[in-house]
A and B are shown apart, each in its own frame.
Chain A
């Protein structure tokens, strides 16, 4: 079974994003970039499926600038077999990404696409669901467990206040939540090996997809900042203030 795993290059989760002075966006120049953490979980899950003998080939895909190659190399070092870079300088929205992925699905015919549930930059949480909608495939979002058997994927999903299990006909779309697994660190030998794995570059136009954004960002602003409050002297003082001043207990 072939698994497609889309990965996104985002500002590293340990870096505090800075709003540009002109309010047009968030500064990414000279900022450490990494693979979106939820996408790492998706890659890890695909690699585990391959280790279990269920997946036979893992294709990693990224849509973005030339440097997204680094993100794809990380996926290859974790265990993906080959990579496709859809090269574009446009910040592609989930709708556009889903359309690009749909075109790649038509080319690659995977049985399963595993995506991170959301990218930590635009926080859209939409691409997997949109791809499933465009393809008419089943979807298992916010997955904390995936079992593949008898041509179906049984997915346990994190929902408000509990867990839901759904059984999906393959081919299917699954989006990874935090609890699905803990991604491995790529070993040095695997990082070296990843350099030799195949990477193909295509343009959205080659796939016949229009990725023009539907949303125009009018401005990006810092949220109101919190001011440091007071230091209290004792636990008793704290309880008294929470009760009488803040009135929260």
Chain B
């Protein structure tokens, strides 16, 4: 069996999440990689150990990872492969289901564990349950959760690179522009530490009091749905079932009671800290470290303690 892995890249390098997808793919068979972008990206892919061949898409549509040409390209290449795999991420989620539809295949997203070539474990209900599913499709199209597979090394391999192009088709979409987030803080999905605020912060002004703590820790800032609904911060801060699903090394929940829909979005964090004045708040049931107290007193104390600890 040979597996085609779609690799995502940023600034000329293969994303770490994509190297995790390579590890997952190697559990299924021999691995070929498909990359978009320039020759440097293909060269970077060729160095990942375990990749036997790199296919580099050179057409204009694929340059911007537009779903229409990229899905058509994947479908045109699919004949040679038993599985098509990518790391769960914006690009794969945009492109792979479309490619699967062209192949008349039901995709299997967010795989956390591979049982065998046709059986996979994936979270449903934002991780409130784990489903083991078996596919009857001739080909399998899946995305994998990067945090569940160790990334393959970036160097050590030496694969051949072959150029491929999407089949000719009228362009139904055009790339216009891209705007990278300029925040000094890391993105919620990629942050090692997240400081998240809830209704306990009371208003928009107070919500900013999380910033000094986040700055000291180099953390991203998140929010509960209650804080978003109350207008303290915009929607894109929301962690939870209908917001971002995160799993940082450290998640500090400040003034968050721990509604089910919030827990669904952060309970896979490695270490959870809860700061809340209500000792009965459900957030304490999932927290590794709980601090019962008034957050407006605790926050400055925490900053001082961090300063002192250096």
Residues of A in contact with B (beta carbons under 8 Å apart): 11, 13-17, 19, 26, 37-38, 93-95, 98, 120-127, 129-134, 136-142, 154, 157-169, 172, 178-179, 182, 213-223, 226, 228-232, 234-236, 238-243, 246, 248-249
Contact between chains at B99 and A133 (CB < 8 Å): yes
Contact between chains at B102 and A133 (CB < 8 Å): yes
List residues of chain B with CB within 8 A of the CB of A130: 97-98, 100-101, 107
Interface residues of B in 231-287 (CB under 8 A from A): 234-236, 238, 241-243, 249-250, 259-261, 267, 270-273, 279, 284-287
B2 at interface by CB-CB < 8 Å: no
CA distance A239 to B131 in the complex (A): 37
List residues of chain A with CB within 8 A of the CB of B94: 129, 139, 141-142, 157
CA distance A125 to B275 in the complex (A): 33
Contact between chains at A16 and B260 (CB < 8 Å): yes
List residues of chain B with CB within 8 A of the CB of A120: 125-126, 241-242
List residues of chain A with CB within 8 A of the CB of B243: 178
Contact between chains at B261 and A134 (CB < 8 Å): no
User: 8 shortest A-B CB distances, which residue pairs?
Assistant: A133-B101, A235-B301, A229-B288, A126-B97, A130-B101, A129-B97, A138-B172, A133-B98
Interface residues of B in 157-210 (CB under 8 A from A): 172-181, 187, 189-190, 193
B104 at interface by CB-CB < 8 Å: yes
Given contacts A95-B104, A123-B110, A239-B306, contact A165 B178 (CB under 8 A): yes
CA distance A131 to B100 in the complex (A): 11
CA distance A222 to B267 in the complex (A): 13
Is the interface on chain B under 10, 10 to 19, 20 to 34, or 35 or more residues? 35 or more
Known: A228-B286, A231-B290. 11 other contacts (CB 8 A): A122-B124, A141-B94, A154-B176, A178-B236, A215-B106, A223-B129, A231-B279, A231-B289, A234-B301, A242-B289, A248-B270
Q: List 29 A-B contacts (CB under 8 A).
A: A14-B260, A14-B261, A17-B129, A26-B124, A121-B125, A122-B124, A123-B125, A126-B107, A130-B100, A133-B102, A138-B172, A139-B94, A140-B173, A158-B236, A160-B89, A160-B187, A168-B173, A178-B238, A179-B234, A179-B236, A215-B134, A215-B135, A222-B129, A226-B267, A228-B285, A239-B302, A246-B271, A246-B288, A249-B217
Closest residue of chain A to B234 (Cβ to Cβ) is A179
Closest residue of chain B to A171 (Cβ to Cβ) is B172
List residues of chain A with CB within 8 A of the CB of B179: 162-165
Q: Which of A125, A226, A236 contacts B305 (CB 8 A)?
A: A236
State the majority secondary structure of interface residues on A. mixed
Residues of B in contact with A (beta carbons under 8 Å apart): 10, 66-68, 71, 89-91, 93-102, 104-110, 119, 123-137, 172-181, 187, 189-190, 193, 217, 234-236, 238, 241-243, 249-250, 259-261, 267, 270-273, 279, 284-292, 298, 301-302, 304-306, 308-309
- A90 smallest CB distance to B (angstroms): 13
- A42 smallest CB distance to B (angstroms): 13
CA distance A13 to B270 in the complex (A): 24
CA distance A230 to B176 in the complex (A): 51
Contact between chains at B187 and A238 (CB < 8 Å): no
CA distance A216 to B237 in the complex (A): 35
Contact between chains at B124 and A123 (CB < 8 Å): yes
Contact between chains at A133 and B291 (CB < 8 Å): no
Given contacts A123-B126, A228-B287, A230-B289, contact A166 B271 (CB under 8 A): no
Most chain A CB within 10 A, of B125, B137, B187, is at: B125
Given contacts A138-B173, A229-B289, A239-B302, contact A217 B98 (CB under 8 A): no
Given contacts A168-B172, A169-B173, contact A161 B190 (CB under 8 A): yes
List residues of chain B with CB within 8 A of the CB of A154: 176
List residues of chain B with CB within 8 A of the CB of A164: 175, 177-179
Contact between chains at A162 and B174 (CB < 8 Å): no
Given contacts A94-B106, A139-B173, A159-B90, contact A19 B181 (CB under 8 A): no
Q: Which of B89, B96, B176, B309 contacts A239 (CB 8 A)?
A: B309
- A201 smallest CB distance to B (angstroms): 25
